[in-house]
Amino acid sequence: MRMEARTTVTAVPYCRTSTDDKGQDPARQLEVIGPWAEREGVPLLDPVIDEGTSASKTDPFERKAFVRACEQAKSAGASAIVVECSDRFSRQGSKLDAWAEVELERRYGLRLLRADKGLEQHGSMVGAVTDALHAEGAAAWVRAHASKVRSGMARKRAEGARFGRPAKPLSATELALVAQLRAEGKGWRRCALAVSEARGAFRLADPERRRKVTVSYSHVRRQFEAAGGVSKVEVFQKS
pLDDT tens for each residue of 198-217: 999 889 888 888 888 899 98
Same domain, 207 and 122: no
Same domain, 92 and 191: no
pLDDT of residue 1: 37
Question: Last residue of some domain: 96, 126, 143?
Answer: 143
Say if residue 84's pLDDT is above 60. yes
Q: Which residue has the higher pLDDT, 51 or 5?
A: 51
pLDDT of residue 3: 37
pLDDT of residue 180: 92
- pLDDT average, residue stretch 52-57: 81
Give per-residue pLDDT as tens, 87-124. 888 888 888 888 999 999 999 999 999 999 999 989 88
Buried b / exposed e over 65-75, threshold 16 CB at 10 Å, is bbeebbebbee
Same domain, 118 and 214: no
Same domain, 127 and 182: no
Please give the span between the terminal C-alpha atoms of the chain, in angstroms, as a whole number: 74
How many separate domains does the chain show? 2
CA nearest neighbour of 85 among 44, 117, 123: 117
The single-letter DSSP state of residue 77 is T
Per-residue pLDDT band at 165 (split at 50, 70, 90): low
Same domain, 135 and 222: no
Question: Last residue of some domain: 98, 125, 143?
Answer: 143
Say if residue 197's pLDDT is above 90. yes
Residue 126 lies in a domain: yes
Same domain, 132 and 46: yes
Same domain, 137 and 211: no
Residue 157 lies in a domain: no
Mean pLDDT of the chain: 84
Residue 101 lies in a domain: yes
pLDDT of residue 78: 96
pLDDT of residue 156: 75
Same domain, 6 and 92: yes
Beta bridge partners of 51: 17
Residue 136 lies in a domain: yes
With vertex at residue 51, the alpha carbon angle to CA 49 and CA 52, rounded to the nearest 5 degrees, is: 160
Residue 158 lies in a domain: no
Residue 151 lies in a domain: no
Q: Which of 12-16, 137-141, 226-230 has the highest mean pLDDT?
A: 12-16
* CB-facing half-sphere around the CA of 186: CA atoms within 13 A: 20
Residue 181 lies in a domain: yes
pLDDT of residue 151: 81
Domain that holds residue 213: 172-238
- pLDDT average, residue stretch 127-142: 82
Same domain, 64 and 124: yes
CA distance 37 to 44: 7
Same domain, 179 and 134: no
CA distance 122 to 119: 6
The single-letter DSSP state of residue 202 is G
Residue 39 lies in a domain: yes
Same domain, 138 and 30: yes
CA distance 121 to 174: 56
- What's the one-letter identity of residue 5? A
Q: Which of 20-29, 51-60, 150-159, 175-184 has the highest mean pLDDT?
A: 175-184
Q: Can you give the CATH number for the domain in which 70 is found? A: 3.40.50.1390
Same domain, 105 and 220: no
